[in-house]
Amino acid sequence: MAREPKRDPVGLEAIEGQPRAVALLRRALAARRVAHAYAFVGPAGSGRATTARAFARTLLCETDAGCGRCRPCALVAAGAHPDLHILVPTPPPTNPRGARAIRIDAVRELERQAALRPALGRRRVLIVDEADRMTGESPEAFLKFLEEPPPDTVIVLVLPHARAVPATVLSRCQVVRFAPRDGGRPAGALDEATALLETARADGVAALLRRTDRLDRAGAEAVLDGLRLHCRDLLLARAGAPPALLTDPGRGAQVAAEAARCSIARLVEAAEACRRAREALVHNVTPRLTVETTVLRLLATTS
């Protein structure tokens, strides 16, 4: 599958559907009053992580505009800028299938990196995705880090809601709110995900690729969330749950028919693949490809 290179991440100008959040960040950049720490708060699929990367690109750009042409911009797009650190929850080192968390070791490593001078430019940007998954001593260590912010460092926490971290942490961040996409209906993501599955099933891979052509990172996040919901519904149906328990009870018969074609073990595997794909998206420079392979995998499971 040929891909035009580096369409992603985009600059702030290409963030859709979040005019207030983008305007707030633009004002801070224009006034040269960028805060030490931000909390990007909103539901999954609302574009928080995409905006965090676009903001990082602007902060690290040689022209301060996120031009997309200078070396720092290219490095951010390739996921290789030495002054951009993205922390994501990871499973326990001893159990790759265990619960994912932002662990104390990772927070300490981040602190260590932040104590060094930026490698390329004037600043360093640290993004903590799913910052609500800080466990054990992590929130406390992170709070200390925020209390003595390292110079030339901008920290962005990505959160589902404001109460997802201790108030002491949030109070040190400028909160940027992200409105839900699709009016916040999880069914919106589910509809898009099942539409992609249907396209691939009925019209083949080429049709799927045409349909994913315009998918940006936030769209890819939403589709993968939708695919995960679909797997969960299939599992429920396969276990004999009534349609009322499904995300969209109106699709009960269709979901039950699809679920009947596969084993619970294979559905669990598919759900796990969706989760891993969603996780990988954070570091991934080809969100489209991730969506396409996940759709095709799920299709193979239920055919």
Kindly state the smallest distance separating residue 207's Cβ from Zn ion, in Å: 36
Segment interacting with Zn ion, rule: CB under 5 A, options 66-74, 111-119, 179-187, 241-249: 66-74
Kindly state the smallest distance separating residue 62's Cβ from Zn ion, in Å: 5
Kindly state the smallest distance separating residue 167's Cβ from Zn ion, in Å: 36
What does the alpha-carbon distance between residue 135 and residue 142 come to, in Å, rounded to a whole number?
11
Q: Does 28 bind Zn ion (CB under 5 A)?
A: no
Q: Does 70 bind Zn ion (CB under 5 A)?
A: yes
**Percent helix / strand / coil, the chain, rounded to 5:** 55, 10, 35
Given the complex with Zn ion, which of 32 and 112 has the nearer CB atom?
32
Given the complex with Zn ion, which of 71 and 161 has the nearer CB atom?
71
Report how many residues bind Zn ion under the rule CB under 5 A. Answer: 4
102's CB contacts (< 8 A; 6+ apart) are 87, 88, 89, 90, 128, 130, 131, 133, 134, 135, 138
Given the complex with Zn ion, which of 78 and 115 has the nearer CB atom?
78
Given the complex with Zn ion, which of 73 and 154 has the nearer CB atom?
73
- Within residues 143-202, the interface with Zn ion by CB under 5 A covers none
Kindly state the smallest distance separating residue 119's Cβ from Zn ion, in Å: 16
Among the listed residues 28, 67, 235, 296, the single contact to Zn ion using CB under 5 A: 67
Kindly state the smallest distance separating residue 138's Cβ from Zn ion, in Å: 33
Given the complex with Zn ion, which of 67 and 299 has the nearer CB atom?
67
**Closest Cα to residue 289, out of 30, 82, 4?**
4
- At 183, list the tokens: 């009016």
User: What sign has the CA pseudo-torsion 23, 27, 33, 34?
Assistant: positive
Q: Does 73 bind Zn ion (CB under 5 A)?
A: yes
Q: Does 125 bind Zn ion (CB under 5 A)?
A: no
Exposed e or buried b for every residue in 162-182, given b needs 16+ CB within 10 A? eebbeeebbebbbebbbeebb
Given the complex with Zn ion, which of 71 and 185 has the nearer CB atom?
71
Among the listed residues 44, 52, 61, 196, the single contact to Zn ion using CB under 5 A: 61
Kindly state the smallest distance separating residue 78's Cβ from Zn ion, in Å: 13
- At 33, list the tokens: 């009053």
Sheet hosting strand 153-159, strand order edge to edge: 84-87, 124-128, 153-159, 37-41, 174-177
What does the alpha-carbon distance between residue 57 and residue 62 come to, in Å, rounded to a whole number?
10
154: burial class by Cβ within 10 Å (0-12, 13-18, 19+)? buried
Give residues in contact with Zn ion (CB under 5 A): 61, 67, 70, 73
